[in-house]
Structure 1
């Protein structure tokens, strides 16, 4: 048993000498040295930031930068938070798919973060259902979502009710804005003042006053396409002719697509007219663009600009398109024709001067 256990109280000096004797008797080079180790910062919460903008406008682009900066500052001011990643979606528009949001939800299953910071409810989801479904999944994983603008946490007991109310307001605001935009477009269509009447296509460009003027080199290609079609050549034959003569497509490619030829032949702009309302947008929040097959009215502006082909030539082409179609309407029903159109040999096509 060590001697120190038998020393009576009051012999403190002796105890100290016994405790330190061996150390002081050690050679200088064998004495124990104190090593200083600085404290290591340990964060209690790992934080992710999610930001979203829907358009390419400059204001929205700045908004994305502002969102990231503001939320990053929130993390910096909290000593218990560590920023681990930033998820962002740009130019989502009407699309439901948001790659940044999708990646964030996948990462949430790997426990990469405990908190998600978002600027506002409207940035997190497009409607009430989207918001609540995402929050429910994250809550099961123990992940908190904090909305800075509303100063609202998903962990609050009253959050579900408040989110319902706020998200419903956000959705209503989106619906009203969508309706207002549609109404504004329709009024401008009716008055003929919409800028859409002056949207250029292949063969046209905008003049100094913003109106369409003919781009002659490309207009000549348009005339060739109409002439070749009336000479009996199919869409495929026209495609081969344009490729043989090294005529670039509207997108600058070496070959034209079948669809681009078909759209050229059916575009009323080439005879000087413009029809607006060929497509329509579904109700908010889906906002899908669909072809208008009679669900809504259309707006025709005649002699809107100088024509590239005559109206007579254009109408002849439309009749020829109908004649060649392998679909016909009999007693109100569509059915395939028994005959099939056969085009001329493209090798016999000569360049039109």
Structure 2
């Protein structure tokens, strides 16, 4: 046996002392979202396993929406486990997956901070153990703003997409003179439709909007909301609503670059001929004349008296 023994130091294997909880959330149970959920869990599990002294204690997975009152059983279970001191660290993919809004995120973080629980947002590289609170708040607010802007764009896209495909519920949105049948389609409400016809007839016979209001109130005809007093805007909107001819125009505001027209969408209360005559009369009565050099007002406004 040789006297030149070589002794090698073997460091002890670190004891995994920090209990880690992984939290993941997706908003729907679509195939794509469920695949995303699996990817989140797999990625965070690898991070936990590769970190000395970390022990995976539990995985919390929610499939919930951003709607108020939407169930987040796993999120609540995670908070309960933190209160019971079953976890030391919570790791999640990003801020938007952790909370549905800034209020919920702040409330949860404050609660966990009080309990001494460390929260790590992997994507933003934020760790409450070594990050200034003001910086975390600033990042959360920035992420929330970006999420809101993205959500707004998605909503607008959805509205346009449904309008283009003819599936938008706005095509069958009820207005004065109509009601819904059992299937949710527009049908004429004879009781109020006769008032719509009266309003169009009065206007073509020379009455101003104020004059129409006076006549409606004299006849004790209630407003669409059941009130005694009519307002000018209600009459203006009715006289410009092509839905009364059976057609529906969506996204017709000046802010939209596209418009969608559903012809013969619903039964007509007013003929197209009468409707077009009213539009021409409204243009004639307008106190603004547009020309190449700009918009110039007329010297005198249209009289509210009958001609």
Q: Which TM-score tier does this pair reach, normalised by the shorter chain?
A: 0.5 to 0.7
What's the Cα RMSD here?
A: 4.0
TM-score by length of 1: 0.52
Residue 146 (structure 1) aligns with: 110
Residue 307 (structure 1) aligns with: 268
Residue 122 (structure 1) aligns with: 101
- State how far apart, in whole Å, the 1-side matches of 2:138 and 2:271 are: 58
188-197 or 224-233: which moved more?
188-197
Are positions 1:62 and 2:65 aligned together? no
TM-score by length of 2: 0.60
The Cα of 1:202 is off from its aligned counterpart by 0.5
What is the total number of aligned residue pairs between the two structures?
A: 218
Change (3 A) 1:155 1:203: farther
- State how far apart, in whole Å, the 2-side matches of 1:155 and 1:204 are: 61
176-185 or 231-240: which moved more?
176-185
Aligned equivalent of 1:193, options 167, 192, 195: 167
Residue pairs, 1:86-101, within 5 angstroms: none
* SS class of match (2:110): strand
Residue 255 (structure 1) aligns with: 229
Residue 36 (structure 1) aligns with: none
Residue 296 (structure 2) aligns with: 335
Residue pairs, 1:173-192, within 5 angstroms: 173-192=147-166
Residue pairs, 1:230-249, within 5 angstroms: 230-249=204-223
Change (3 A) 1:157 1:299: same
- State how far apart, in whole Å, the 1-side matches of 2:226 and 2:305 are: 27
The Cα of 1:322 is off from its aligned counterpart by 0.5
Q: Deviations 1:268-317 (Å, cap 9, x if unpaired)?
A: 11111111113xxxxxxxxxxxxx32552211111111110000000000
Structure 1 gap ranges (5+)? 1-58, 78-118, 132-144, 279-291, 347-353
- State how far apart, in whole Å, the 1-side matches of 2:67 and 2:306 are: 53
Are positions 1:217 and 2:201 aligned together? no
Q: Is the 8 A contact 2:217 2:228 kept in 1?
A: yes
Q: Is the 8 A contact 1:214 1:308 kept in 2?
A: yes
Change (3 A) 1:312 1:165: same
The Cα of 1:332 is off from its aligned counterpart by 4.7
- State how far apart, in whole Å, the 2-side matches of 1:249 and 1:341 are: 25
Q: Is the 8 A contact 2:208 2:306 kept in 1?
A: no
